[in-house]
Chain A
């Protein structure tokens, strides 16, 4: 995002200078209308330079024409001022919109993929640390807290929430937003898993769950890495299955250890947390598959 701001700053400065020079030689009214119009139409959000630029141009033009009309009504003068100001604003807006599109353009697809790679990598690390906490490994509590903070920092800095901006490219909007919603869903499941992992499960439970859980997390992280590879526009070399075997083993384990009746689940907190763990892991798998499917 830092690069984005630098690029924007440079593009706005350059466009302003171009507009000021053109205004100096070709302006038909006051010299400032053209650069102001350029600056005004360039204040667009990421992914919507053309649509928002045009909207801002019409808004600016309408406001100036209406304001000029009121002034002319109070102090009558030549009507050619409408044409002169309209011309200056149109040229200024044209410079602004074209500059937004061609001077240091932001490739939103590249930016979107770059930012998501960082976010997904932080999720993979967080998932591994949650597993350690779940299996009650030494220093796992601190580890999970640190990884959680890493996720928060990365999301805060890199999450491409700009895809929600009004006016964002109509062609890309649906796909990008869907992908971001699914990524957010992964994050929320991870937080829920962290909450479950804080529960001190009885060692009897963990003994049999150890191996299927490790296998699940290992496999889930491989899928996450595969998604990252695809986002980096590289080819996946390893064939991956859809985690269904791991989920089936976990469910089987759940049915072996936990009473079948829902009333009896309330007998022990371990039972309910175990059920919650399985539900979250199933959701996580489903969401990972949604993400992979979206990239196909």
Chain B
């Protein structure tokens, strides 16, 4: 797969630490105790991202940022983070696969397939377990939709 002539507009590596930290919240499940530490990181990282986005001025890149932000908004809605323990492996895999698509210069179709597989396995665990045990399953459904949107948007940007 070609990465295209204009790597500058396709390079989304500045979003990688942002998405990584969002998933760290879900993996460490310590947002309630550490929320100032996380929010400080997000406040500082957002400034770097804004400066980059203003320079690039590309709607698809803006859109990827918005979707990652929307993925992070689950942290405001979850009251019991321990529920995420059941899908720890899936969340880790999602974060890793998104990282590859955001930061690596040379990507292949299999990288997109990997992300899709991770989303499917997260969706499957949602249908089997989370949906039954969590208080607000709708929030997870929205999260999954955002993951699909991210996959689609990344494909749009990274594939020529």
Contacts and interface: CB of A to CB of B under 8 A. Distances in A.
Interface of A: 145, 148-149, 152-153, 155-156, 159, 161, 164, 177, 180-181, 184-185, 187-189, 191-192, 194-196, 198, 262, 265-266, 269, 272-273, 275-276, 279-280, 283, 287
Contacts of A266: 141
B142 A184 contact: no
Interface in B39-90: 39-40, 42-44, 46-47, 50-51, 53-54, 57, 59, 62-63, 65-67, 69-70, 72-73, 76-77
A115 B138 CA distance: 36
Given A155-B50, A180-B43, A185 B142 contact: no
A269 B149 CA distance: 11
23 contacts: A156-B47, A156-B54, A161-B43, A161-B47, A164-B44, A177-B40, A180-B39, A181-B39, A181-B43, A188-B42, A188-B73, A189-B73, A192-B66, A192-B73, A262-B137, A272-B141, A275-B142, A276-B70, A279-B77, A279-B138, A279-B142, A283-B73, A287-B76
Contact of A184 (B43, B53, B141): B43
A145 B58 CA distance: 10
Given A195-B70, A262-B131, A145 B141 contact: no
Name the prevailing secondary structure of the A interface residues. Answer: helix
Name the prevailing secondary structure of the B interface residues. Answer: helix
B139 interface: yes
Contacts of B53: 152
Given A164-B44, A181-B39, A283-B76, 7 more contacts: A148-B62, A161-B44, A164-B40, A177-B40, A181-B36, A194-B66, A262-B131
Q: How large is the interface on B (under 10, 10 to 19, 20 to 34, 35 or more residues)?
A: 35 or more
A275 B36 CA distance: 29
B120 to A, nearest CB: 13
B145 interface: yes
Interface of B: 35-36, 39-40, 42-44, 46-47, 50-51, 53-54, 57, 59, 62-63, 65-67, 69-70, 72-73, 76-77, 131, 137-139, 141-142, 145-146, 149
Nearest to B143: A276
A192 B138 CA distance: 16
A180 B47 CA distance: 14
Given A156-B47, A159-B47, A262-B131, A276 B142 contact: yes
